[in-house]
Amino acid sequence: MVGNKGKLFRVLKWLEDEGEAKAIARLRMKILPFSVQESIVINRVDRTTTCTDRLLKEARKAATEIVGKPCPC
Amino acid sequence: MTTPFSVDKDAPHRRCLVGNEPVILHCHHFNTYLQQTLLDAEYIDTTKILIGAANEMAFHQLSDIFSRQDTADVAERKELASRLYQWAGFGKIDLSLLKKDGGTLATRQSHYSQAWKVKLGKATRPVDFFTAGWLTGALSAVYGLAQDEFSVIQEKCMAKGDEQNVFSLTPGGNNYSVYHSAKGGELAAQVLQETTSPLDEDAIFDALQGLPLVGDDQTGLIEAFGVILTHHYANYYNRISFEFERELAAQFGTDGMEIAEPLLVESGHVCAFNTFGGIMKSMMWQGLIQPQLATKEDWVHGIIACVYALGWGRWQAVGISRDEARFVIHNDYESIGFRAMYGKADHNISYLAMGSAMGIMDLVYVGNIEEHPELNPAFYEKLFKGKESYQAKVVKSLAMGDPYTEIHVF
């Protein structure tokens, strides 16, 4: 089900603040099959973007791995 | 360290070949970051690429050396291969442990496993894909067998917390991709540009060639300039980068390629920050190069003179200012390798060169490297996450048919 308005944006914002210089680029690489499936361009995600639970879960998992601590979003 | 193999220097092109394979210096930051990029794409079996590329390099390089030296004795071949592995800074191995029917090899010295732990922390899986593949290629070359005669599994890895790396080789077929070596490739004619460099670049090149940058007798590692260096294979980097990009393109079209580019460029950025930064803070720099430098622009020329010794091709910088610079690269190893492997490129592929050129400008003009800042992750983030960080655009590409590669950094 598509929903979760703004949640993916919050994950990305947290990653940008907490992660390394190319953290967002790494997340894009990690979740590419899922974002492509939902036609979501990560660099264009904003507060209004919606996504499935699955994509959100993959994004949180990737953000957690990249930063090295649990994504709180 | 005297070597039982020939290290062929091609000074005019700033290249080095061993067993007809171009060999270049790269640091552990680059090696691990690039490998991490491939492993991040868990939906592609990139381990087959990583192992296969190393198999390719070892097999073709050692076959060439054995053939030139007319060395048929198996023990002699194993000794030579083990020494080459150590000379290159990959660590230490004893190939006599492996036989014609494979076997198990253990080592406590591995560039990739130790570097991974130092830079990225404890791994969740074995990470020395390079040595795994290298052993399969080396053993096939030693016994004169087919390139992909052996499959390999890394059973233990120091990066995971094991005491040593353990590899098991089994005859009867591969478990990796098999590639045929592109060798040295075809070089383009060099028409050098006029630069404002105040340096005697040839003298610096000669001096740097004299540095003892070879694997340590005890550790098999090359620790210099604050990094761990390797005399790595240009075409290993080329193969893994380009095959990765091709896999992404095959599965996801242009989306895949666009996503790979910033990370491949970042590998070069990371490399420039750590290796070039380390060189510019070294005693060698202070004694040999810094006395000849008066301006920040001279610092750019100074590090370019050092790049010569890395085997990356002949670099020049023109039109340097705080606002911009053009980096002209004759026979950059990425272009030479791409053309030899796949023919003329339809897009820019000089990722390492882009990242390195940006990194040089960032270090000199944003990071004020002449003030000797500490090169740590916090400084890296400050430098490269900031809005002042430089951008780069490839305006000429040897891989795409231009006579040289030119990168505009702004």
Choose the mutation target among B269, B385, B388 for the interface with A, i.e. most A CBs under 10 Å: B385
Is the CB of B41 less than 8 angstroms away from the CB of A32?
yes
What is d(CA B7, CA B19) in angstroms, rounded to the nearest whole number? 8
Q: What is the pLDDT of residues B327-375, one digit of tens each?
A: 999 999 999 999 999 999 999 999 999 999 999 999 999 999 999 999 9
In chain A, residues with a C-beta closer than 8 Å to the C-beta of B268 are: none
Q: Searching chain B, which residue's CA lies closest to the CA of residue A43?
A: B259
Could you report the predicted ipTM of this complex, rounded to two decimals? Answer: 0.93
What is d(CA B53, CA B197) in angstroms, rounded to the nearest whole number? 38
Question: Does residue B178 fall inside a structural domain?
Answer: no
pLDDT of residue B381: 86
Question: Does residue B195 fall inside a structural domain?
Answer: no
Question: Does residue B113 fall inside a structural domain?
Answer: yes
The verdict on B17 and B85 lying in the same domain is yes
Paired with A36 in beta bridges are none
pLDDT at B114 over 70: yes
Contact between B268 and B29 (Cβ < 8 Å): no
In chain B, residues with a C-beta closer than 8 Å to the C-beta of A29 are: 37, 40-41, 259-260, 263
| CA distance to partner chain B, nearest, from residue A17 (Å) | 10
The verdict on B35 and B167 lying in the same domain is yes
Stretch B115-123: mean pLDDT, rounded?
95
**CATH number of the domain that B149 lies in?**
3.30.1380.20
pLDDT category, B1, cuts 50, 70, 90?
A: low
Is the CB of A28 less than 8 angstroms away from the CB of B381?
no
Question: Does residue B231 fall inside a structural domain?
Answer: no
Give the list of residues 6+ apart from residue B397 with CB closer than 8 angstroms, or none.
B335, B345, B348, B349, B350, B405
**CATH number of the domain that B276 lies in?**
3.30.1380
What is the domain range of residue B278?
A: 201-218+267-409
What's the structural domain count of chain B?
2
Question: Does residue B29 fall inside a structural domain?
Answer: yes
The verdict on B29 and B80 lying in the same domain is yes
| CA distance to partner chain A, nearest, from residue B37 (Å) | 7
The verdict on B403 and B292 lying in the same domain is yes
pLDDT at B386 over 80: no
The verdict on B310 and B393 lying in the same domain is yes
pLDDT at A71 over 60: yes
The verdict on B37 and B128 lying in the same domain is yes
pLDDT category, B383, cuts 50, 70, 90?
A: confident
In chain A, residues with a C-beta closer than 8 Å to the C-beta of B249 are: none
Of the candidates A20, A25, A29, the beta carbon closest to that of B41 is on A29
Is the CB of A32 less than 8 angstroms away from the CB of B260?
no
The verdict on B68 and B111 lying in the same domain is yes
Is the CB of B266 less than 8 angstroms away from the CB of A36?
no
pLDDT of residue B230: 97
- Average pLDDT, rounded, for chain B: 95
Question: Does residue B337 fall inside a structural domain?
Answer: yes
Collect all residues from B whose CB is shorter than 8 A from any CB in A. Answer: 37, 40-43, 121, 248, 251-252, 255-256, 259-260, 262-263, 266, 269, 377, 380-381, 384-385
The verdict on B116 and B44 lying in the same domain is yes
Stretch B13-19: mean pLDDT, rounded?
95
